[in-house]
Structure 1
Amino acid sequence: MAEVILWFSEDENEIVPELVELRVEQPILINPTLTGDQPSAQLPPLQWFEFDVATIAFETSTPSISLQPFLFTLATLTRPFPTEMSVEDKLAAINEEFWNHIGMHLNYVQELILRGTLENKTYQQIATEPHFTSNYLRTEASELWQLLSPILGEKVTKKSFEDTLNRWLWQRCTQRQQREGQQFIEYLDNDFTLEMVQIPAGNVLMGSPENEPERSPSESPQHIVEVTSFFLSKYPVTQAQWRSVAAMPQVNRELDPDPSRFKGDDRPVETINWYAAVEFCDRLSQHTGKQYRLPSEAEWEYACRAGTTTPFHFGETITTDLANYHDNLTYGDGLKGIYRHETTPVGSFGVANAFGLYDMHGNVWDWCADHWHESYKGVPVDGSAWVKGGDSEFRLLRGGSWDGYSRLCSSAYRARVHAFSRLNYVGFRVACSA
């Protein structure tokens, strides 16, 4: 008898038959009654023969990832902030912009009106010189507000001037730079895509220093974590992406194809619990052959900070011109802005962090893979999810939301929610192993 061995290879994508001259000795039985069980039997002469060997290949490696560059705008808040500027500093800034737009500087009366307005004076109080009446100043001010409205980008009145000016000054504090990142694109059903940004390997100082304003004890102790390269979705998962994956074959549990309160294809999906987010990752993994999952808490903070050590990746504070959050309480030297009462389409603000990730602060909280722990004592330092010990019924949330105050949106802030909770300010983004 001849034994044929099938060789299995991970280097090929198909069965490759090859003719191999294997010289195998076997008996040729001439007399069918002759068997080897008979002691006196003599076997016939041995002869050589040839046969084919088939190589069967099995695809066991992760499908190849084709990276492509993408451009994004990095936003950074730089000092001095409007809250740190004197009245004279603010007047100098508006005078410069007045010249840039109109070709002339503020005249004496216009400057008098603006200074008095910033000092919360009435027209009667501003009219300190005998030849200036309050009615005259009102007439001059009416023309001045009309001139300033297109310069500051919104309608200006005496009542709104200071807030409008401060918002405009905050925009001047926002430095924007063009950057380039690397990503791959996952094509889903119905022509929807998922953009996955490459996050380089590196380390991060997790947690917050003791002198950081409004810090939480759960952000201690600060510690350095080494993170290997991985991919993270550029935006929170949208409702369109959710529907595409929810239509894929079930892995462990059913998915509601339309769970969100605030409807819109480009808005982040919300009102989904931790287990639903995991099921999304499992279905996407099954569909693509890649390893999709929720990010670990360490991966999330590393990706959010993108090399920064400030409370926000924008800098020392945050504004509602850069993120969607509850503005009733300002952070540090920040400015009270707009409370939108709902989610916004992902990427609405047009600015990213240094890795090219959008909406890392505000809009919806992101689920992370870890169990909840009250502090960082005993935390892994290799960037993996902390799923040993702690409270497995509660999972980590990061990033803040449209309904959270500015402090809750910081890079270091940690929140816990029961894994079965479905809240209209909680969504997620997906990670993929490199």
Structure 2
Amino acid sequence: MKQVKEQTTQQSGSPHTSGGGGGGGTKTWTITGMLRVRESEIEGTSKDRALKGIEVKVQASDVSASGPWTTWGTARTDAQGAFRVTEENNGKTRFFRVQARLVASDLTVEDGSLVDLSKVDIADRNWRLIWKSSGQLSGPSVSLGTKVIASGQPHDLGSVEFRRQAMLWYLHRTTIDELKRQDAWFAIDDQVKVLYPARGGFQVSYLNGAVIHLQEGTSDWKPDVALQWFWQAWHNFHTGSTSEYFRAGFAAFAMMATMHELWGARLKKPYNRRYVAAGLSISTMDELEHEPLGVQHGLRLLRCGGRRSWWSHLFGTAQKYPDNREDADGDGKPDEPVEAGIKQRLTGRVVPVNEPDHLTFWEILRAFRADRKHGWSSDFALSEADGDGLLAFIARVASIHELSEDTHAMLIDALDPLSTKEPFEWLPQLVAAER
């Protein structure tokens, strides 16, 4: 894969001298268009997504629609997927073709079979043909309009693989940009490279540094799986944790939180105790830390919102289902039977007002970062005494976000599958005169 500069559009002032169809004097040509991808995997409904930041190359020929081709310039699409290339050139008419590839300094999505030891795509096979003129055009303004990568479209626009690659670009581009917008530290300090379809002879997808290999013949290109691989890479670049349980649980949680923050997906609640004990066969906190679903459960608890958040959640016990679980369809059964319930009111209890009752996704991510103010001189890392990560991370979160000792204890108790105490029971009661 060739490394490209952020802006490589050829500058005017050095016109090509080929005469072109019909001769004519030098004029400034302008080639414009917009590029989108049609996908239904992210939100479950078909939408055309703007492809921001990809590279577009414009080529011209004064001989035929088959070339030979002269490159007039390359440009990068803006936030709406629009591009513009200008060129001073003589001649009245030209044949044109426009190609695109999913390449930037911090993100690349490409066919895994194109990777070689030198990391150079000698044949430029990453380029995809998105438009070609059927005849000579007189210009000087040439507009492609909006080109959509979707089934049934001409040229490479209709390629199934290219559509999936473009969807992966949109997914990762949007995620990376939002991370940088929230906090520069959130960025992965390397180029994220998504290889799809990876054709290395392996049967499963895998991660190598910031290179995500999404295996051919699997559905790992879909958003819920691809984002988990991205967040595993993020975890490796931002922590000193080597626990596979914590990394996998964190990645599954971060995928869910990303889908909620960026595309409005439902934010799942933590599990209820009965499901943890009976469904996951977990009865101790040590077992909870050794199960990715247990780690995800703990991180969901930190993030959960609604009403009075932590304090309003109901976990039940291993012997009893929790009350007040969602039943939107009114069939008498909970819509999400594995999740915690919600207490409607906290009448008679004193709720803390000087500390949070839940954390945002971004606040959880910031707890991975060194915080010398609260005594954390390095980014999150685990020592042998820290176990497998979840409880050590919750202790760090409680310190950095200044949670009280009681709140910290409540969070741990809420995760205990054999506890019989609900979060609201940790709150002091109002005396009769205050009610």
- TM-score normalised by the chain length of structure 1: 0.24
Q: Which has the higher contact order (CA 8 A, sep 6+)?
A: 1
Q: Which has the higher helix share?
A: 2
